[in-house]
C-alpha cells in the first residue's frame, strides 16, 4: 500500500545508519536478486587472485619439494600415509585386516587418513590442489561471516584477504599439515552454523555445520567441545530442539569413530595416541619441572611424574598446579604471550622457503629450541640465541609483535561496536558471540598442550581478523546521515 509504514526490519534499517560501511540489508538483497554475479564479482576476483598466488607457490613446491614435509609432525604422518598406500597394493582379501590394524594402532584417523586417501588418488600435487581449494572456500566463508557481522562487502573482503594472506593460511595449504584441513572445515562450519541459526533457516544448514565441525574434530580434537558450546548458546536463545539436534550431529563423527574403536578394542574413545590429552599434560608438567630450582626437580618428578605410561589425568595436573602454583602460572603466562603476540610470519622463510634447514631443526628442537631457552634462561638469553641463529628473520618476527597487539586491540573494539551497532542486530550479535567465543575457546584449549605455539592459534585467526576489521573501520557521520 502506498504510504504505508515499512515492516519492522525495513523500518529499523531506514531509521538507523548502518555501521562498518554496510549497505542497507534491503538494498543488498535487491542487488543480489537483480544481478547476482556482479554483486559477487569483487569477491570472485579476490579469490581468483589468491588462486593465482597459490599456483605460483605450487611452482615453488616443485623447486623445493622438501617444504612439503616441514609442517609439525609431517614426517611421521608421511610414514603412516605410505603404510596406508602400501596396504592398498596388497591382495584384496588382506587389505581389510591390515587397514584395521593400522587404524587401531594410530588412534585418531583424521590426523592422516583424509590426506592418505587424496594422496593415493591424486598424488602430492593433487593433495596440495585440494588443500588450496579448501582454503579458498574458507575465504569465501570468512566473507559470509563478515556480512553477518555487519561489515560492508568491501570490509568483508579485507578480512578475507587478511585471512588468506596470513602465513598459516598461505603455507599450510602447501604442506602435509592437519591445519590445512582443520581450519577450513572449522571456518566453513562456523559460517554454515550462523546461517542455520537464523529464524526459518533450512535444517540443511545446521546439519551441514554439525558434520563439518565434527569432521574438523576428527582431524584435530581441540574442537571437541565447540559444537556443544555453540548448541548451548543457541538453546539459550530459545531454539532448544534444533540446538540439541545440532549438538548430536556435531558429535556424530566422533561418536561413530569412538563406537567403532569400542567394538574393536573394548575401550570407547578416539584411541591411544602420543598426542592425546593425557600425554600432553604429562609433557607439560615435565617442561614446567625443568624451570624449577635444580635441587627440587627430582623430588617433584618423583611426586607427580612417577608413571611409566607418561600419561596424566586432569586431576593429576590440577594437583601439580596446586602444589607448584608459581611455576604453573609462569608457564601459562608464557603460553598466553606466544598465543597472543607471536605472529608466525617467520614460518614463510624458515618452514616454507627453507632458508637454512639446519637452523630450522635447531629452532624446532623441543629440548634445545628457542622455547626451552625462554623457559630456562629467560627472554634475554632466548633473544640472544635467536639472533645468533636467525638474524634478520628474528627482526621480521619481532615486527609481527606490534601488529598482533594492534589486531587484538582492534578486535576488542570491533566486538563492542558490532554488538552495539550491527545493522542486523540479532544476526550481528550472534556472529560476535561466536567469533569472540571461538577465540577464547581456542586460547583455553591450547593451554593443555605441552607448550603453546603460534600455529595453535591458526583455527581461530579468521575470527581475529573479522573482529579487527570491524574495529578498524571508521565512518564519516555526515556520510552516514546522507545515506540514512
Q: Can you tell me whether residue 391 is helix, strand or coil? A: coil
Q: What does the block give as the cell for 471?
A: 574495529
Residue 369 pLDDT class (50, 70, 90 cuts): low
Q: What is the pTM of this model?
A: 0.85
Does 59 have pLDDT greater than 60? yes
Does 55 have pLDDT greater than 80? yes
Per-residue pLDDT of 60-89, as tens digits, reads 999 888 889 988 889 999 999 999 999 988
Per-residue pLDDT of 237-249, as tens digits, reads 888 999 999 999 9
Half-sphere exposure of 397 (CA within 13 A, CB side): 18
- Any idea of the CA torsion for 467, 44, 351, 449, to the nearest 10 degrees? 40
Does 366 have pLDDT greater than 90? no
Q: Return d(Cα 424, Cα 10) in angstroms, integer.
A: 11
Question: Can you say whether the dihedral through the CA atoms of 110, 112, 113, 118 is positive or negative?
Answer: positive
pLDDT of residue 280: 87
Per-residue pLDDT of 153-163, as tens digits, reads 999 999 999 99
Contact 382, 374 (CB under 8 A): yes
State what percent of residues in the chain have pLDDT above 90: 54
Mean pLDDT across 24-34: 41
Cα distances from 66 to residues 344, 350, 444, in angstroms, run 20, 12, 33
Residue 360 pLDDT class (50, 70, 90 cuts): low
Q: Can you tell me whether residue 30 is helix, strand or coil? A: helix
pLDDT of residue 133: 98
Per DSSP, the residues of 161-204 read HHHHHSHHHHHHTTSS-SHHHHHHHHHHHHHHHHHHTSTT--HH
**Phi, psi at residue 24, to the nearest 5°?**
-55, 145
Q: Residue for cell digits 582454503?
A: 135
Does 29 have pLDDT greater than 50? no
Does 427 have pLDDT greater than 80? no
Per-residue pLDDT of 158-199, as tens digits, reads 999 999 999 999 999 999 999 999 999 999 999 999 999 987
**Phi, psi at residue 267, to the nearest 5°?**
-125, 115
Q: What does the block give as the cell for 254?
A: 566422533
Does 362 have pLDDT greater than 80? no
Question: Which of 15-19, 143-147, 298-302 is least confident?
Answer: 15-19
Q: Return d(Cα 319, Cα 281) in angstroms, integer.
A: 12
Q: What letter would DSSP give residue 369? A: S
Does 371 have pLDDT greater than 90? no
Cα distances from 147 to residues 44, 150, 284, 358, 440, in angstroms, run 15, 5, 40, 45, 22
pLDDT of residue 273: 73
Q: What letter would DSSP give residue 6? A: P
pLDDT of residue 176: 95
Mean pLDDT across 352-379: 64
Residue 117 pLDDT class (50, 70, 90 cuts): very high
Amino acid at each position: 500500500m502506498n504510504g504505508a509504514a515499512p515492516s519492522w526490519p525495513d523500518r529499523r534499517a531506514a531509521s538507523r545508519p548502518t555501521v562498518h560501511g554496510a549497505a542497507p540489508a534491503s538494498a543488498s538483497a535487491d542487488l543480489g536478486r537483480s544481478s547476482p554475479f556482479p554483486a559477487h564479482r569483487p569477491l570472485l576476483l579476490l579469490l581468483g587472485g589468491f588462486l593465482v598466488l597459490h599456483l605460483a607457490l605450487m611452482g615453488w613446491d616443485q623447486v623445493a619439494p622438501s617444504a612439503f614435509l616441514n609442517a609439525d609432525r609431517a614426517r611421521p604422518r608421511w610414514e603412516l600415509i605410505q603404510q596406508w598406500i602400501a596396504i592398498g597394493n596388497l591382495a584384496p582379501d588382506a587389505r581389510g585386516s591390515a587397514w584395521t590394524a593400522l587404524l587401531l594402532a594410530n588412534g585418531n584417523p583424521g590426523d592422516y587418513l583424509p590426506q592418505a586417501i587424496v594422496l593415493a588418488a591424486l598424488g602430492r600435487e593433487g593433495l596440495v590442489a585440494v588443500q588450496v581449494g579448501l582454503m579458498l572456500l574458507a575465504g569465501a566463508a570468512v566473507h559470509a561471516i563478515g556480512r553477518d557481522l555487519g561489515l560492508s562487502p568491501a570490509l568483508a573482503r579485507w578480512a578475507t584477504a587478511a585471512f588468506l594472506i596470513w602465513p598459516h593460511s598461505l603455507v599450510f595449504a602447501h604442506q602435509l599439515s592437519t591445519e590445512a584441513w582443520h581450519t577450513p572445515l572449522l571456518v566453513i562450519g562456523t559460517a554454515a552454523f550462523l546461517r542455520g541459526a537464523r529464524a526459518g533457516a533450512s535444517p540443511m544448514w545446521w546439519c551441514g555445520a554439525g558434520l563439518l565441525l565434527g569432521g574438523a574434530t576428527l582431524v584435530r580434537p581441540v574442537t571437541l567441545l565447540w559444537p556443544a558450546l555453540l548448541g548451548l548458546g543457541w538453546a539459550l536463545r530459545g531454539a532448544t530442539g534444533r540446538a540439541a539436534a545440532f549438538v548430536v550431529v556435531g558429535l556424530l563423527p566422533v561418536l561413530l569413530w569412538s563406537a567403532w574403536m569400542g567394538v574393536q578394542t573394548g575401550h570407547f574413545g578416539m584411541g591411544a595416541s602420543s598426542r592425546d590429552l593425557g600425554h600432553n599434560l604429562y609433557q607439560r608438567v615435565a617442561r614446567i619441572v625443568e624451570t624449577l630450582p635444580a635441587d627440587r626437580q627430582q623430588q617433584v618428578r618423583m611426586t607427580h611424574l612417577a608413571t611409566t605410561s607418561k600419561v596424566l589425568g586432569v586431576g593429576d595436573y590440577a594437583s601439580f598446579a596446586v602444589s607448584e602454583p608459581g611455576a604453573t602460572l609462569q608457564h601459562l603466562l608464557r603460553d598466553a604471550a606466544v598465543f597472543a603476540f607471536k605472529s608466525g610470519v617467520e614460518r614463510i622463510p624458515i618452514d616454507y622457503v627453507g632458508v637454512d634447514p639446519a637452523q630450522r631443526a635447531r629452532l624446532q628442537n623441543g629440548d634445545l629450541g628457542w622455547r626451552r631457552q625462554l623457559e630456562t634462561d629467560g627472554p634475554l638469553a632466548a633473544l640472544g640465541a635467536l639472533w645468533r641463529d636467525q638474524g634478520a628473520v628474528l627482526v621480521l618476527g619481532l615486527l609481527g609483535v606490534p601488529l598482533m597487539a594492534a589486531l587484538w586491540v582492534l578486535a576488542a573494539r570491533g566486538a563492542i561496536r558490532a554488538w552495539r551497532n550491527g545493522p542486523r542486530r540479532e544476526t550481528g550479535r550472534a556472529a560476535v558471540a561466536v567469533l569472540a567465543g571461538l577465540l577464547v575457546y581456542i586460547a583455553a584449549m591450547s593451554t593443555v598442550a605441552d607448550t603453546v605455539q603460534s600455529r595453535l592459534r591458526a583455527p581461530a585467526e579468521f575470527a581475529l581478523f573479522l573482529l579487527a576489521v570491524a574495529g578498524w573501520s571508521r565512518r564519516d557521520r555526515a556520510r552516514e546521515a546522507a545515506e540514512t
